[in-house]
């Protein structure tokens, strides 16, 4: 337990004694990571939106064609009688 506490204290001291240049660099890396995550989110949201639009349009198309054939069949039945 003492070893763990001493290691934790050493790490804390190392983090506190970081030079300002390293801090600025770490902020830049952090901002770059956030921007990268946002870019990936936008790409996946765009892909998801495109896929949902394609699914919606294909559902409309198949609904239209099914209705067309049903109406065509009903007209054929009505005209045969």
What is the Rg, in whole angstroms, of the alpha carbon atoms belonging to the chain? 32
Higher pLDDT: 1 or 62? It is: 62
Q: What is the 3-state secondary structure (H, E, C) of the chain?
A: CHHHHHHHHHHHHHHHCCCHHHHHHHHHHHHHHHHHHHHHHHHHHHHHHHHHHHHHHHHHHHHHHHHHHHHHHHHHHHHHC
Q: How many CA atoms lie within 13 A of 49 on its CB side?
A: 6
According to the model, what pLDDT value does residue 43 have? Answer: 97
According to the model, what pLDDT value does residue 81 have? Answer: 61
pLDDT, tens digit, for every residue of 5-55? 888 888 777 777 777 777 777 788 888 999 999 999 999 999 999 999 999
Domain edges within the chain: 19-80
> The tokens 């049903």 sit on which residue?
70
């Amino acid at each position: 337990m003492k070893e763990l506490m001493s290691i934790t204290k050493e790490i804390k001291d190392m983090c506190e004694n970081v030079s300002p240049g390293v801090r600025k660099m770490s902020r830049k890396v952090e901002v770059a990571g956030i921007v990268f995550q946002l870019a990936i989110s936008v790409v996946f949201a765009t892909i998801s939106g495109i896929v949902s639009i394609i699914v919606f349009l294909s559902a409309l198309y198949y609904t239209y064609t099914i209705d067309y054939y049903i109406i065509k069949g009903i007209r054929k039945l009505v005209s045969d009688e």
